[in-house]
Amino acid sequence: MMDLSEAHLEAFLEMMSAERGAAVNTLQSYERDLKDALSFLRARGTRLGEATPDDLRHYLAGLAKQGFKSSSQARRLSSLRQFYKFLYAEGLRSDDPTGILDAPKKARALPKTLSVDDVTRLIGQAEAEAAAGGEDALAKLRMHALIELLYATGMRVSELVSLPASVLSQNGRFLVIRGKGAKERLVPLSQAAMRAMRSYGDALRQRQSKEESPWLFPSYGKSGHLPRQVFARDLKSLAARAGIRVAAISPHVLRHAFASHLLANGADLRAVQELLGHSDISTTQIYTHVLEERLHELVQNHHPLAKQAKKQD
């Protein structure tokens, strides 16, 4: 015999189909989610239609313990919200127990990064093409300078493409970068970045007309400097020639690589925060999670006991 909760569930699904025109897949998804909650609550001695906010909190907590992602938990909660709104609208409940429940917090996505070997190959490709010269020699020197500067400093791509031409006259090993909120920060330059920038600067001066551009990477576009979209496109092209998966590369990924590689080699988190120009250290801490994930994968893939466990599974 169908209990009251099942009858309410059937009525809800009929309403979603008849009045809202929900697709078959959507109805099946609602049915799966709500039947799962029904089974959980029944085991607690509670009916789905009579559940309290605490009952539903226990249900969601149980999903988290089972390893359900926050997105899956949020979908289950969404199904419950729709169900209890229906019960309230039909006068079958005087309240909505999901009204005071918070949606599960989504886990922050870990930033993509590149291995040291991939970065070395990318820079090596840019350096070799710049040294070869030939057609579009200035563009090749520019790309080499862009790559070296980006990996050496971890600049945002918007900061990189809008560097002033005046940096060419600096003899020191530091750059002053104007970042978000017009805040300035000091970043060190590697010897390789300095050489690439000088080579590019020399070629640029020979090419320029009497009226020099105020930008290090000038362009004929509206902004007057190289658009970041053009750099991103050219970077993917360079990655393809270097044998690196194109989908894995972007200017921002090189910024991530800069931070991850520094931390992996023992750099202080506060120092990396300053170099990246993060106002909040919690933004920088995401890179420590990248390292934790890498270490976990390393153990799982290479430790003898982990390998043995996989074989037994």
The residue assigned the tokens 């560097």 is 163
The 3-state secondary structure of the chain reads CCCHHHHHHHHHHHHHHHCCCCCHHHHHHHHHHHHHHHHHHHHCCCCHHHCCHHHHHHHHHHHHHCCCCHHHHHHHHHHHHHHHHHHHHCCCCCCCCCCCCCCCCCCCCCCCCCCHHHHHHHHHHHHHHHHHCCCCHHHHHHHHHHHHHHHHHCCCHHHHHCCEHHHHHCCCCEEEEECHHHCEEEEECCHHHHHHHHHHHHHHHHHCCCCCCCECCECCCCCCECCHHHHHHHHHHHHHHCCCCHHHCCHHHHHHHHHHHHHHCCCCHHHHHHHHCCCCHHHHHHHHHHHHHHHHHHHHHHCHHHHHHHHHC
Rounded CA-CA distance 115/92 in Å is 58
The residue assigned the tokens 């969601």 is 60
Q: Please say whether the beta carbons of 145 and 197 come within 8 A.
A: yes
- Tokens representing 210 are 């009497």
Q: Please say whether the beta carbons of 154 and 251 come within 8 A.
A: no
Q: Please say whether the beta carbons of 56 and 64 come within 8 A.
A: no
The residue assigned the tokens 């400093």 is 153
Residues annotated catalytic, as ranges: 156, 180, 252, 255, 278, 287
